[in-house]
Each structure stands twice: as C-alpha cells, then as structure tokens.
C-alpha cells in the first residue's frame, strides 16, 4: 500500500496527473479545491473546507471509504475517513492558533485539538494513519504547551502511532535531513512540517520528493510511504 500526503498549493486538478504517476493507494492533499466526489477516474474524492478554492481532501483508490460520522466541522482541517476493511485515516491540514480568528469562535486548529477529539476513534482501530501538513516542528516549541510538537508526538505515540519518516531514517525531530516545505519556494528556507504517522502498519520505504522535481508545482514536497500490507 502506498500512501502520499502532499500540500499541492492550489489548483490540484491541474496537478493531479503528475502526482498520480506515483501510483498512490491513498492520497491526503492539502490546499486542494472542492471537486465532485467522482471527478478523478477510478478514485473517490472526499473533501472538507470553508473556501472552495482550498481545503483538505482524501483520495481513495480501490476499496471504498467514507467520511466518518464523527467528523467535527469546527476542527480545521481534520478529515476522518474509514475504509470497509476498518482502516482509519485522519487527514491533516492544521491551521494551528489561526483557526478561531480565521473561521470563528469555537473553531480549533491544533493537531492536539484533533487528537483530543478523535483519540478514541483512532485508538479503537487495528490500523490507522494520521498524515498531512501539521504546520509545526519541535524547533518552534516554547514552554510546555499542549500544542507544542513535542507534546503532539507524545500523544500520537500514546495512541500507538509512530512517525514513518523518523523511524526509518533514524533522525531526531527537528534535525531532519529531508525538507517537506521550502518557504516562499526558496531552497535556502527548508522546513520539515509534514508528517505521516502509522499504527498497525509497517513502513517499508519512505521518500520525500525533491526540490528539483516538485518546486514548480508547490512549495511542499510529496511525502511518500510504502507499507507492507496489501491495498486497503
């Protein structure tokens, strides 16, 4: 099973064929536009967002999946999808502290907020994926706030998850050799703020797309993980 997470930086329909060449089984896409459920051939497109130009989408290839009834529209943006096999996927495009100011009173955007809400839902599954643009890193942690990335990672580990990148590359958080974002598309401003966490699945191979191959499409690089088990 191949899982891809990618912040496409708008106009996903025009970029779909390029990323589809990577042959994903599940794709979590941030900053993608609202499109019909069956817009892409042989693919189901689940989408949430407040702006039709850019939201959070999950594309499923193969076995059918649906948005879980537990979906909370005041968590921006976190999309829970469940497959018939029982596999659960929580797509992430975190608005962090900006959610309430951007979307209104009561809206929350930290990954920690989503884990507090969806934690039991994720814990109950034998196999789960949490993946996307977390907009966070331990390099920005201050104090002992629940929203710090260190605490977020600890919470994920307590739910049985591990970071696919860090477990296969044996690198410390905050010292990643591969970057997932090049701020303002500047190669001299690299950050690692996208993550793909697994529970009950084994990461056989993890790859981050290269600046040379992807910068013309987005400031984020695709995050590609191959898992041991079959297509969901």
**What value does the mean pLDDT of the chain take?**
96
So what's the pLDDT on residue 22? Answer: 98
How many CB atoms within 10 Å of residue 184?
8
pTM for the structure as a whole: 0.97
Express as a percent the part of the chain with pLDDT over 90: 96
Asked whether the predicted pLDDT for residue 3 surpasses 60, the reply is: yes
* Angle, CA 200 vertex, CA 230 and CA 95 arms, to 5°: 100
So what's the pLDDT on residue 228? Answer: 84
The rounded distance, in Å, linking the Cα atoms of 114 and 106 is 13
Question: How many whole angstroms from its chain centre is CA 210?
Answer: 18
What pLDDT band is residue 229 in, cutting at 50, 70 and 90?
Answer: low
> Buried (b) or exposed (e) across 123-162, using 16+ Cβ within 10 A?
eebebbbbbbbbbbbbeebeeeeebbbebbbebbeebebb
Q: pLDDT tens across 26-61, in order?
A: 999 999 999 999 999 889 999 999 999 999 999 999
So what's the pLDDT on residue 230? Answer: 39
Domain locations along the chain: 2-227
Q: pLDDT tens across 57-72, in order?
A: 999 998 899 999 999 9
Q: Is 91 helix (H, G, I), strand (E, B) or coil?
A: strand
β-pair partners for 177? none
Asked whether the predicted pLDDT for residue 232 surpasses 70, the reply is: no
β-pair partners for 81? 67, 89
The rounded distance, in Å, linking the Cα atoms of 132 and 29 is 7
- Pair 42, 20: CB distance under 8 Å: no
Spelled out in words, what is the top-level CATH class assigned to the domain 2-227? alpha beta
């Amino acid at each position: 099973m191949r899982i891809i997470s990618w912040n496409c930086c708008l106009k996903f329909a025009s970029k779909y064929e390029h990323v589809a060449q990577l042959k994903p089984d599940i794709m979590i896409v941030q900053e993608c536009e609202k499109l019909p459920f069956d817009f892409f051939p042989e693919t189901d497109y689940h989408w949430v967002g407040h702006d039709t130009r850019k939201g959070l989408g999950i594309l499923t290839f193969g076995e059918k999946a649906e948005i879980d009834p537990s979906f909370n529209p005041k968590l921006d943006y976190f999309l829970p999808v469940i497959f018939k096999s029982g596999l659960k996927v929580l797509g992430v495009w975190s608005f962090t502290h900006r959610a309430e100011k951007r979307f209104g009173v009561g809206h929350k955007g930290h990954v920690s907020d989503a884990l507090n809400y969806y934690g039991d839902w994720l814990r109950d599954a034998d196999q789960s994926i949490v993946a996307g643009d977390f907009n966070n890193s331990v390099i920005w942690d201050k104090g002992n706030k629940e929203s710090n990335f260190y605490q977020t990672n600890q919470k994920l580990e307590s739910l049985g998850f591990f970071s696919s990148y860090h477990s296969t590359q044996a690198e410390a958080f905050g010292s990643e050799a591969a970057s997932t974002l090049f701020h303002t598309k500047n190669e001299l401003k690299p950050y690692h703020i996208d993550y793909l966490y697994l529970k009950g699945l084994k990461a056989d191979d993890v790859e981050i797309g290269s600046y040379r191959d992807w910068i013309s499409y987005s400031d984020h690089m695709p995050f590609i993980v191959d898992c041991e088990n079959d297509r969901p």
